[in-house]
């Protein structure tokens, strides 16, 4: 069952604190529409993971590379070039304040190599973007080694976003999900975020802004043959994390190219 918004959750976690945190994080920066003068969002509200028992290695795959360090994309879509060939971002990814883009700017923009982010993923005020899944069709894992407050996946104030669509996202290892103030966003009641982000179920917060009549219902998932009527959109079912995918090794997350743990697109315990 998807996460439902209720009065208790609204009273406990209001929109103002999250907006304030984001604004505080960028308040010291001088923003410019000129791509050559763009600045970096400092994670002043980030919480570092001080004890991490997971052993990781930074082996390089012939198909994609590990991009070390935090990546901030803002002001102009041209900065998405920072993600070229990245298979793993060993840091956080922030995509923020691209407020003068339109849908055509994202038509040919996709990064299928990206499968893993070791810290957090933040979207804030990106105009023209309608599907996150189209940007990152193979993103399988967000580790949450560093969090934005208690969150590893934040989607906030995205006026044109119509679906999350991250059909390969199988696990958020640490940190919660925060999705709100997205007036065009659908397919929220058809995703069970508790299957993906299990770190603190009480902190997962998904606010449905659309009226029910304006969004597809779970019947769309049923027509697509999706188990439990869960789907990312009319094309992709949500894949439960407690099942292997396409006969992949149990260590795999988000699919594989063949049998055995060495063929995983992303691994539970290693950077791949």
Please report whether residue 205 resides in a domain.
Answer: yes
Q: What is the CATH number of the domain that holds 182?
A: 3.80.20.20
pLDDT one-digit tens code per residue, 204-249:
999 987 776 789 889 999 998 898 899 999 999 997 544 545 578 8
Please report whether residue 255 resides in a domain.
Answer: no
pLDDT one-digit tens code per residue, 25-49:
554 343 333 433 333 344 444 555 5
Query: Taking the CB of residue 124, how many other CB atoms lie within 10 A of it?
Result: 23
pLDDT at residue 15 greater than cutoff 70: no
Exposed/middle/buried for residue 8 (C-beta within 10 Å: 0-12, 13-18, 19+): exposed
pLDDT at residue 20 greater than cutoff 90: no
Q: What is the structure's pLDDT at 265?
A: 75
Q: What is the structure's pLDDT at 214?
A: 84
pLDDT at residue 61 greater than cutoff 50: no
Please report whether residue 54 resides in a domain.
Answer: no
Please report whether residue 228 resides in a domain.
Answer: no
pLDDT one-digit tens code per residue, 172-182:
999 999 999 99
pLDDT at residue 22 greater than cutoff 70: no
Q: What is the structure's pLDDT at 35?
A: 39
Q: What is the structure's pLDDT at 208?
A: 86
pLDDT one-digit tens code per residue, 165-174:
999 999 999 9
Dihedral angle over CA of 198, 201, 204, 207, nearest 10: 130
Please report whether residue 25 resides in a domain.
Answer: no
pLDDT one-digit tens code per residue, 70-126:
999 999 999 999 999 999 999 999 999 999 999 999 999 999 999 999 999 999 999
Please report whether residue 270 resides in a domain.
Answer: no
Please report whether residue 188 resides in a domain.
Answer: yes
In sequence order, which residues have a C-beta less than 8 Å from that of residue 33 and are 6 or more positions away?
75, 76, 100
Total domains present in the chain: 1
Q: What is the structure's pLDDT at 55?
A: 31
Helix (H, G, I), strand (E, B) or coil at 58: strand
Exposed/middle/buried for residue 48 (C-beta within 10 Å: 0-12, 13-18, 19+): exposed
* Domain extent for 122: 64-214
The model's pTM: 0.80
pLDDT at residue 266 greater than cutoff 90: no
For the segment 49-58, the average pLDDT, to the nearest whole number, is 38
């Amino acid at each position: 069952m998807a996460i439902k918004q209720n009065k208790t959750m609204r009273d406990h976690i209001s929109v103002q604190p999250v907006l304030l945190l984001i604004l505080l994080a960028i308040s010291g920066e001088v923003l410019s529409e000129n791509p050559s003068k763009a600045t970096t969002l400092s994670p002043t509200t980030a919480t570092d993971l001080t004890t991490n028992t997971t052993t990781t290695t930074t082996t390089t795959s012939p198909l994609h590379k590990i991009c070390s360090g935090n990546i901030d994309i803002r002001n102009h879509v041209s900065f998405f070039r920072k993600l070229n060939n990245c298979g793993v971002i060993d840091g956080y990814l922030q995509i923020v304040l691209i407020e003068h883009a339109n849908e055509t700017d994202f038509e040919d923009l996709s990064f299928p190599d990206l499968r893993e982010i070791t810290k957090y993923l933040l979207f804030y005020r990106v105009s023209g973007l309608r599907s996150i899944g189209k940007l990152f069709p193979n993103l399988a894992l967000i580790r949450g080694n560093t969090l934005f407050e208690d969150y590893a996946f934040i989607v906030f104030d995205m006026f044109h976003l119509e679906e999350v669509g991250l059909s390969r996202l199988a696990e958020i290892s640490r940190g919660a999900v925060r999705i709100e103030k997205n007036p065009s966003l659908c397919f929220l009641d058809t995703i069970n975020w508790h299957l993906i982000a299990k770190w603190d179920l009480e902190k997962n917060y998904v606010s449905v802004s659309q009226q029910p009549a304006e969004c597809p219902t779970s019947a769309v998932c049923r027509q697509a043959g999706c188990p439990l009527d869960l789907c990312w959109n009319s094309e992709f079912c949500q894949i439960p994390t407690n099942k292997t995918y396409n006969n992949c090794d149990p260590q795999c997350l988000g699919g594989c190219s063949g049998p055995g743990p060495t063929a995983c697109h992303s691994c539970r315990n290693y950077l791949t």
